[in-house]
Amino acid sequence: MYIKYKSLSNQKVSIINVNLSNCKTITTEENKLIINMPEDSKDKTISLALMSNDDSIKALDKLFGTLSFKAPLGNLLDLTKLDEDLIINEENLKESETEEE
């Protein structure tokens, strides 16, 4: 997955290629979004500094939303809203599959 990121130090925009399928965890710490890779991986852990802690949480939510939209049905599980029913709209999934083809 490619991530577009603006550096806080010099405001330079970068596009980073991240192998999310191989990552161990994706977390937030203070104002950072951290993508941890396994120790035996050739890929390095990525730490993206954002403006605030709220921005890092928004970035994590946006990343999860992007992954769940692109992932096959049932591949991602959101455990942050346990009291909400899981609704899977099969028609929308079929439409998005035909749009990608």
Name the β-bridge partners of 49: 32
pLDDT tens digits for 5-53?
999 989 999 999 998 888 999 999 999 999 999 999 999 999 999 999 9
Predicted confidence at residue 86, as pLDDT, reads: 64
- 8 A C-beta contact, residue 47 and residue 16: no
Higher pLDDT, 54 or 84: 54
Strands 46-49, 32-36: pairing is antiparallel
What is the chain's mean pLDDT, rounded?
A: 83
Residues 6+ apart with CB under 8 A from 34: 25, 26, 27, 28, 45, 46, 47, 48
